[in-house]
Structure 1
Amino acid sequence: MLRVGIVDDHQIVRAGFKEMLGDAVQLRIVFEAGSGEEALSALREQECDVMLLDLSLPGQSGMDVLRIVRQRFPDVSVLVLSGFPEERYALSMIRNGAGGYICKDCERDELIKAIQTVAAKRRYVSAKTAELLAEEMLGGGVSSPHESLSEREMQVFLRLAKGESVSDIADTLNLSVKTISTYRTRLLEKLELASNAELAAYAVRNGLLME
């Protein structure tokens, strides 16, 4: 019996997936959470094999939660269940430790297969993600500049793009203001941009802002 946690800030979405998985005899929903903080609290109290994780969460983002789960709960496999299409975040999330990435409009059988795959400590790669990986390996795809960002750079980038100050980001990520400023400088160089406003515009153009 696989123990599954569902993390999404919309109660109706959690209820939908809970109902979708309710009659799967090999799965048991052990908790649901509406924020990253709630999810991490639940993991401290409840054993879990697979966590279904939305990227767009209040407070700590899904990317923040993934990083913490990898560090503190290494036995928990994370399956990113997102409203964003694969080309936006799939490769980045898998590179940074997610067991797989699947869109919320997936079919029930695909979701169950993905949960079973990541629970077995294997990567679940959808057909679209496999296509993106193949294009990357063969050099056939045109990579966007943000795809080369590290996990931490992506965290800082998205927060800057949403208008958060350097000091607020430093507090949230438990880093120094100097370190965040260094990340900001590096981001502007890598993305060939000149200001926070241009970072925000880039994020909007590429559909990267998480509401």
Structure 2
Amino acid sequence: MLRVAIVDDHEIVRAGFREMLADESGIAIAFEAASGEEALARLPGSACDVLLLDLALPGQSGVDVLRTLRQHHVDLRVLVLTGYPEERYALTMIRHGADGYLSKECGQAELLQAVRTVAQGRRYLSPYVAELLAGRVAGTVAEAPHQQLSERELQVFLRLAQGQSVSKIGTVLHLSVKTVSTYRSRLLEKLGVESNAELAAYALRNGLLVE
């Protein structure tokens, strides 16, 4: 039996994916969670093979949760299932450890294919994401500055863009204020901006704000 967890803060969305998966023999719902914190709390006591992870979660974002999962649940397969278009986050999330990336607009057949693919230890790439990756490898698709950020830089960037203070980011991410300030300086340089306001404007232009 393949055990799947669904992490999304919208009950109606969880219900929809639960229904799509429940109709398939050989798949059981391990648990559902409305936040990253709830999912992380449930995992130690729940047998789970594949976790469906939204990026836009209250509290810890999907970006934060993925980092924790890769540190403490290395055998768990993670399929990002989100409303953000593939061109915004897919390659970045896969580079940072996701086993696949799927739009919430997917149909039942594609969802089942993605779940089974990552459960087998392989990466799931939709045709569009595969095309993006091929373009990147061939050099015909330019990599945007934010796509070159490290996992930790991305976490700090998104929180700064949301208007969080350096001290709050340090508390949430368990980093010193000095370390967060160092990341901020790197971000300003890498993204070619000069202030937090310009960081936020960059994020808005590129549709990156995870709320």
5 Å-filtered alignment, 1:11-50, equals: 11-50=11-50
Instruction: Figure out how many residues of one structure are paired with residues of the other and give that number.
Output: 211
Q: Secondary structure at the match of 1:37?
A: helix
Give CA deviations for 1:172-204 in whole Å, capped at 9, x if unaligned.
Answer: 000110000000000000000000000000000
Q: Does 1:75 align with 2:66?
A: no
Q: Does 1:90 align with 2:103?
A: no
Q: Secondary structure at the match of 1:3?
A: strand
> Match of 1:53?
53
How high is the sequence identity, in percent, across the aligned residues? 65
Q: For the aligned residues, what is the CA RMSD?
A: 0.6
Give CA deviations for 1:83-110 in whole Å, capped at 9, x if unaligned.
Answer: 0010000000000110000000001011
Q: Secondary structure at the match of 1:110?
A: helix
Give CA deviations for 1:27-61 in whole Å, capped at 9, x if unaligned.
Answer: 10010000001000110110100000000000011
Q: Secondary structure at the match of 2:158?
A: helix
Q: TM-score normalized by structure 1?
A: 0.99
Give every structure 1 segment of 4 or more consecutive aligned residues whose post-TM-superposition deviation is greater than 3 Å: none
> Match of 1:8?
8
Aligned partner letter, 2:48: C
Q: TM-score normalized by structure 2?
A: 0.99
Superposed displacement of residue 22, structure 1 = 1.1
Deviates more, 1:180-189 or 1:117-126: 117-126
Distance 1:48 1:74 in 2: 12
Aligned partner letter, 1:210: V
5 Å-filtered alignment, 1:24-173, equals: 24-173=24-173
Q: Secondary structure at the match of 1:106?
A: coil
Aligned partner letter, 1:132: L
Structure 1 portions without partners, runs of 5+: none
> Match of 1:181?
181
Distance 1:168 1:105 in 2: 34
Distance 1:81 1:118 in 2: 13
Structure 2 portions without partners, runs of 5+: none
Distance 1:47 1:71 in 2: 18
